Structure 1
Amino acid sequence: MQTVRKVVILGGGTSGWIAAALLKKVLGATIDIVLVESDSIGTIGVGEATIPPIRLLNSVLGINEAEFLRETKATIKLAIKFDNWRVPGEGYFHTFGAPGKSLAFCQFHHLWKRARQLGDTTSLWEYDLNYLCARDGKFAPITAKDTILELPYAFHFDAGLYAQYLRKLSEQWGVQRIEGLVNDVMQHPNGDIKNLVLDGGREVSGDLFIDCSGFRGLLIQQKLGAGYDDWSHWLPCDRAVAVPSERFDKTLPYTRAIAHSAGWQWRIPLQHRNGNGLVYSSSHYTEQQAADLLLGNLDSKALADPKFIQFKTGRRRKQWHRNVVSVGLSSGFLEPLESTSIHLIQSAVVRLLQLFPHQGIVSSQVAEYNRQSQLEFEQIRDFIILHYHVNQRTDSQFWRDMQQMTVPDSLQRKIQIFAANGSLFREQNDLFLESSWLQVMMGQGIMPKDYHPIANSFTEQKLKEMLAQFRAIKQQPLSKLPSHDEFLQKVCAQ
């Protein structure tokens, strides 16, 4: 039982510097942190779009939001727009908000469903403030006592600039950065990692190691052989090609995910450029076909040559093994369809903080960390599979295969319950709220056959009045909010 006093992080980039900054900010002088990275090794910036918990991370780190927006060339994200996922030519939004206002034992969509059966033609999204602001290109933070006017948001930002920003903060707080390539990894007789041997012979020892070496998994896999669960039978896309392009005159406050015949394209608006990419199956597209498809569907001029990335969807079987914790791509990969890449880094470090070893690493702590990590990955996996599986496209074999595949029991059960009577239950610690599952299921074309009987508690006239009132309340802030670009210009000028 050895006190954990020194943490060595292998690899920089977004994952390494989030780990360094958060551990140092929270644990302070109780531990020493050394980060080893080499400028000669590039990073994979797939995480330019985020989800609302990023704001909590920035808050814990004491980051001023205006400064963050300036430093990372960030924009606001209220939602993701999915185009062509159910059928070509159709789209829907998955917002960070929720439609209407739910009752104690009856979620809002049950009221809406009954109204639809009575002839109401309003869209579910017309009751969602995030959607209304995304549609109109408006944003400013809203502070309201009534939860019906909540406007949750996240960011699009340049992941490389974010890593640089966190590095600056981390080094100010006392994190030591060492430039160098790892030539060898030495182990204790019991199999734990002892030290890293860098080029030139310098040795970096530690009590706990965090592997942020990307897909290589230099410590967790190459040295410790922690294993990998391959999920490509559910999520067969195994390649991505990315390219930046010139920014638009009008900056949209949402991400776009555009389905193609064997994959999907992302469009992420930043202050200085747009991020674009195509996630695809190499069984259906060659590299040249993928590059041509992406470049042929840009809305602005490309600023660089396409960059290709290979991956295998899945997770590390033991994300904490011996005295190594894998964070970021070394711990697994889920395609960035729901912008979870950076969140998985954040949650891995938070989980480590909650279970941080004091007088030595205890097997029960490691087991609990791995249990929670597995559950988190599986829940996000199911949500991503949902987008693919519940489609009605007939234009390509890829989408027909997605319809016919056998999905995890956990996902099948959720789909069946919702399709029957609109019931939605959030699993323990599920990253995605009921409103998220609702929007994707409805957007993909699953209309519940029935609704909760509480919706019948109101007369037809009262129900119409309630829904009209909800719509009116959601509309109220729009006239007072600035455009997204006006907000950015004002904040970044401060």
Structure 2
Amino acid sequence: MQITQDPIKKFVIVGGGTAGWLAGATLGNIFKHSDVEVELIESEDVNIIGVGEATIPPLIDTLESLGIDLSEFISATQASFKWGIKFENWYQEGHSYFHPFGELGKRIDGHEFYQCWLKLKAHGDNTPLMAYSPEAVLAENMRFFVPHQAMNTPLSGARFALHLDAVLAGKYLRNFAQSIGVKRTVGHVELVDKTLDGNIASVTLSSGHTIAGDFFIDCSGFNSLLIGNALNTDYQDWSEYLPCNRAVVVQTTLSEDIAPYTISRAQEAGWSWHIPLQHRMGNGYVYCDKYISDEQATATLMKNISGKALTPPRVIPFRTGLREQVWHKNCLALGLAQGFLEPLESTAIHLVSKSLALFVRMFPTKQHNAILQAEFNRRIHQDYVEIRDFLVLHYCTTKRSDSPFWQDWQHRPIPQTLQQRINFFAQQGGLLRETEALFQATSWYAVLDGMKVNPLSYNPTLDALDAKTLHKSLNMGRTALEQCVLKQPSHLQFLQQYCPAENP
């Protein structure tokens, strides 16, 4: 059988920033030894939003797959390391918990570690769950580790992410992409021309220059010049479940040690973030304007910062949700053009890289393929639903009722998909697992335990294990973890030795 292909020969990416240049780097890396062209159009009139400065561990895998030197990237983006997120005041005022990456403990005689911990808790052991998390213990002690030296130690399963300067990350990826053949064109898209069958044929810049292509990638941010304006793809609004619709952001000087974690602090009408980089602190307040004005939100944020302001506060409106079709016709939307979920769990850059990886797996030709597009859109929608439900979990389990915002959360409807998860967990601490899910067991356990959602019992098969023997085993593991952590360098020492920041 002879297979005929009609391959794509020209990709046009509209929009720069992290999303655009990550797309350029990915496609440029794939086609660097071919005749396929990748051209990115970047407007100097459009400011980068630059909110997503905290990431999650899959970014490390993405950078390594591109052949990017991690130490060089960290230095160039003024990055610091991230073991997870410390949530303050979410359950109630004065309460905090930690959401780490990686795994919690080790399986014991075939039993999941969480179930072993749950049994001991039922028998009166009050050791916190996070005492068994390498990332949580490292974060508490402000330590980092030399990864290759952690093999065969209690730290071997630890996973980390980065805090980075989004603008510098975009510049780094731009230089990398250009070095492997991606063409950069500076200009502002004024017109989008379509073929008779509705595909995008070309874009015309304000200079009058026209750029044609076979496939277009929309990284134009909230403007959605291609997928929204030109192709009229509808937007699913999820404000029913996630009502926050604005953020005010400000950058400040560092006034204390560089913590290896993000702080998320619940506020009167939402929550604030505090992200330490090597050269400054990123701060923001995500809120709903139904409960607080921009001026009040700005004042709240400024009261919660440490250090001196480096930039004036900037308000960014947004609408939570995603496009009905993120791949439509010969156009793929990425980043803010694709959708938006508040940055509570730092998923923005991950959704870009995940979309690109899935697109590569379902790579099209010039010919329209409804089957590929439908499955791609289904999978991306599934990813957004998973993240949406996980974000809602942080809100709907609160006991706060000290402001109208939190009072309303006591009665707000939650997605049925999330309710099913909570109901299932409430029985024996079990989780509903999905293929290729972003949030694995540790994440669900961390937030559910942190928000004091306690199951009625543990799995009865754990009664086959002797409680005293189990207690001894867990205690030995916890002690070994603590001793190993205290031998590691401080986070600041590691940064200064292995990947000090370049001058901004």
- Give the TM-score band, short-chain normalised: over 0.9
Within 5 A, what are the aligned runs for 1:410-429?
410-429=417-436
Q: CA deviation at 1:358?
A: 3.0
User: What residue is the counterpart of 1:54 in the other structure?
Assistant: 59
Q: How big is the shift at 1:2? A: 4.5
Supply the distance in 2 between the matched residues of 1:460 and 1:492 (Cα, whole angstroms).
45
CA–CA distance in structure 2, aligned partners of residues 476 and 184 of structure 1: 62
- Retained in 1: the 8 A contact 2:153–2:484? no
Shift of the alpha carbon at 1:104?
6.5
> Cα gap change, 1:147/1:429 in structure 2, threshold over 3 Å: closer, same or farther?
farther
In the alignment, what sits opposite 1:124? 129
How many angstroms does 1:428 deviate by?
1.7
**Residue aligned with 2:229, SS:** coil
* Structure 1: gaps spanning 5 or more residues: none
Tell me whether 1:165 sits opposite 2:172 in the alignment.
yes
Which of 495, 500, 503 aligns to 1:488? It is: 495
Does 2:17 align with 1:13? yes
Matching residue of 1:406: 413
SS at match of 2:190: strand
Comparing 14-23 with 240-249, which one deviates more in the overlay?
240-249
Could you tell me how far apart the structure 1 residues matched to 2:488 and 2:37 are?
Answer: 46
CA contact (8 A) 2:103 2:158 kept: no
CA contact (8 A) 1:149 1:474 kept: no
Deviations 1:120-161 (A, max 9, x none): 121111111110000000001333246773110000000100
Cα distance in 2 for partners of 1:17, 1:450 equals 49
The residue that corresponds to 1:140 in the other structure is 145
The farther-off stretch of 290-299 and 451-460 is: 451-460
Q: Distance in 2 between matches of 1:359 and 1:194?
A: 12
- Equivalent residue number for residue 440 of structure 2: 433
Partners in 1 of 2:115 and 2:381 — Cα distance?
33
Normalising by structure 1, we get a TM-score of 0.97
Q: CA deviation at 1:51?
A: 0.3
Q: Which residue of 2 aligns with 1:289?
A: 296
| 1:44 alignment partner, SS class | coil
RMSD: 1.5
Tell me the secondary structure at the aligned position of residue 122 of structure 1: coil
2:37 alignment partner in structure 1: 32
8 Å CA contact retained: 1:316, 1:331 = yes
Aligned-partner Cα distance in 2 for 1:182–1:254: 39
Question: How many residues are paired up?
Answer: 494
Q: Does 1:92 align with 2:101?
A: no
- Contact kept, 8 Å, 2:155 with 2:484, in 1: the verdict is no
| Letter of the structure 1 residue corresponding to residue 389 of structure 2 | D
Gaps of 5+ in 2: none
Asked if the contact 1:106–1:452 (Cα under 8 Å) also holds between the matched residues in 2, the reply is: no
Residues 355, 316 of structure 1: alpha-carbon distance in 2 compared, 3 angstrom cutoff: same
1:45 aligns with 2:57: no
1:36-62: CA deviation from partner (whole Å, max 9, x where unpaired): 011111111111000000001110111
Residue from 60, 70, 87 that aligns with 1:65: 70
CA contact (8 A) 2:250 2:283 kept: yes
CA distance in 2, matches of 1:274, 1:105: 44
Structure 1: how far apart are the matches of 2:29 and 2:200?
25
2:19 and 2:400 map into 1 onto residues whose CA distance is: 37
Contact 1:221 1:227 in 2 (8 A): yes
The 10-residue stretch of structure 1 (96-105 or 17-26) with the greater mean CA deviation from structure 2 = 96-105
Distance 1:249 1:366 in 2: 49
Partner letter of residue 27 of structure 1? F
Write the distance in 2 (CA, Å) between the matches of 1:50 and 1:224. 31
Runs of 4+ deviating beyond 6 Å: none
- 2:311 aligns with 304
Residue 22 (structure 1) aligned to one of 16, 26, 32: 26
- Of stretches 145-154 and 216-225 in structure 1, the one that deviates more from structure 2 is 145-154
2:252 aligns with: 245
- The CA deviation at 1:476 is 3.2
Within the alignment, does 1:3 sit opposite 2:7 as a pair? yes
Contact 1:314 1:334 in 2 (8 A): yes
The reply on whether 1:334 has 2:341 as its aligned counterpart is: yes
What are the superposed Cα offsets for residues 220-241 of structure 1, whole Å, 9 maximum, x if unpaired? 0111111011000100000000
**How far is 1:98 from its partner?**
2.7
Tell me the distance in 2 between the aligned counterparts of 1:141 and 1:423.
34
User: TM-score if structure 2 supplies the norm length?
Assistant: 0.96
Say whether 1:176 aligns with 2:183. yes
Task: Determine what percentage of the aligned residue pairs are the same residue.
Answer: 40
